[in-house]
């Protein structure tokens, strides 16, 4: 179980870093991404990993007693990841909100890795 959680969490961290990369490229270069060619396939790929992660985390929390990790945080992080997987392609998205959400995801996922390693 821990190996699966570590693997999925590392994948989500990678995606989170890609969110920031795509967002910054879009803002700096005025890149416009095609929804059907780029946005939808990418968000579907992220959603698949995100859903697997949520299921694994929920199962893990039912079997383990972890002090600073709660089901609500998992749901919130999952929702944030889902949002950013689409918003990263739209540079009109509020920069402050995007960056704050990005940092929140990064922090929580790194905490998961700390607990599981």
Per-residue pLDDT for the chain (117 aa), expressed as one digit of tens each? 689 999 999 999 999 999 999 999 999 998 888 999 999 999 999 999 999 999 999 999 998 878 888 899 999 999 999 999 999 999 899 999 999 999 999 999 999 999 887
- Euclidean distance between CA atoms 67 and 82, whole angstroms: 26
- Euclidean distance between CA atoms 117 and 113, whole angstroms: 6
Residue found by looking up tokens 């416009």 in the block? 32
Q: Say if CB 79 and CB 28 are below 8 A apart.
A: no
Q: In what helix (H) or strand (E) does residue 72 lie, and over which residues does it extend?
A: helix 71-87
- Euclidean distance between CA atoms 79 and 69, whole angstroms: 16
Read off the pTM: 0.94
Q: Say if CB 52 and CB 12 are below 8 A apart.
A: no
- Six token digits for residue 93: 């998205």
């Amino acid at each position: 179980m821990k190996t699966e959680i570590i693997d999925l969490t590392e994948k989500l961290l990678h995606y989170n870093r890609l969110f920031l990369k795509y967002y910054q490229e879009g803002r700096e270069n005025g890149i416009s991404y095609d929804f059907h060619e780029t946005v939808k396939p990418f968000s579907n790929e992220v959603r698949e990993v995100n859903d697997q992660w949520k299921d694994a985390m929920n199962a893990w929390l039912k079997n383990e007693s972890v002090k600073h990790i709660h089901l609500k945080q998992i749901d919130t992080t999952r929702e944030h990841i889902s949002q950013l997987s689409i918003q990263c392609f739209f540079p009109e998205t509020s920069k402050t909100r995007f960056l704050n959400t990005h940092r929140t995801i990064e922090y929580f996922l790194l905490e998961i890795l700390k607990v599981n390693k």
